[in-house]
Amino acid sequence: MSQYRTWIRIGIVAAVIVVVAGALVASRWLLSRQSDTNTPDSAARQNLPKPTREEVPVGTVVPEPTSTGLPADVAQPQDVKRSGNESSPYLRTFKVTVANGAVSPANIVAYAGDILTLTFESKDQAYAFAQPDLGLAWQVPAGGFKTFQFQAAAPGKYIYYCPSCGGPDRGPVGYIVAAPK
């Protein structure tokens, strides 16, 4: 009987070893599969969000209300004034029109640190815009206006777009360029 118990114990130990080894192999396999699905392949990389902030283009000129010869896609400020004393930022006011899935003018250019007042007018449908890096989101009603104010703190060329219209790839899109001083 004692020999019988020894064989039973050996069998139980062997079964436990097989189960533990199987569990280790299965867990490693599952972990490797999980990391494979978290690694973007070339097809998945195409669906990754595009950056919404770029470097300020070299030679960027910040327009004034009296500037002449501006490119058609650069918004001319309606008003520019100091917000306080000589060291305080400028207040810049712009108007932008949205119609037929396009923003006009598409580029709003100011200095980093300036406080911008933007008025968007929709000529047709309602639009919802976003600029993630600046933490901005706003809606323009169909045939209406939306005015808001923010400070362009850091230099950069920031794309804003209508997520519900298809995002940055399908438009409408525009740019807020905060040039270094």
| Element spanning 44, H or E | helix 42-45
123 and 161 in a single domain? The answer is: yes
Beta bridge partners of 145: 121
**Is the residue at 173 inside a domain?**
yes
156 inside domain: yes
Give the Cα separation of 147 and 93 in Å (integer).
Answer: 10
The number of distinct structural domains making up the chain is 2
Q: In 51-82, which positions are buried (b, 16+ CB within 10 angstroms) versus exposed (e)?
A: ebbeebeeeeebbeeeeeeeeeebbebeebee
Q: Torsion over CA of 64, 66, 72 and 76, rounded to 10 degrees? A: 40
- For residue range 128-163, list pLDDT tens digits in order: 999 999 999 999 999 999 999 999 889 999 999 999
Q: Is there a domain that residue 117 lies in? A: yes
93 plus 168 within the same structural domain: yes
> Quick check: pTM over 0.75?
no
- Give domain status of residue 159, yes or no: yes
pLDDT in tens, 24-69: 555 565 555 444 444 333 333 344 456 789 999 999 999 999 999 9
Instruction: Verify that 173 and 143 share a domain, yes or no.
Output: yes
| Structure confidence at residue 75 (pLDDT) | 98
Domain that holds residue 35: 2-45
d(CA 14, CA 79): 84
Same domain, 36 and 102: no
Q: Are residues 36 and 89 in the same domain?
A: no
Q: Would residue 55 count as lying in a domain? A: no
User: What pLDDT, on the 0 to 100 scale, is given for residue 131?
Assistant: 95
Residues 12, 72 within the same domain = no
Claim to verify: residue 20 and residue 101 sit in the same structural domain: no
Same domain, yes or no: 12 and 101? no
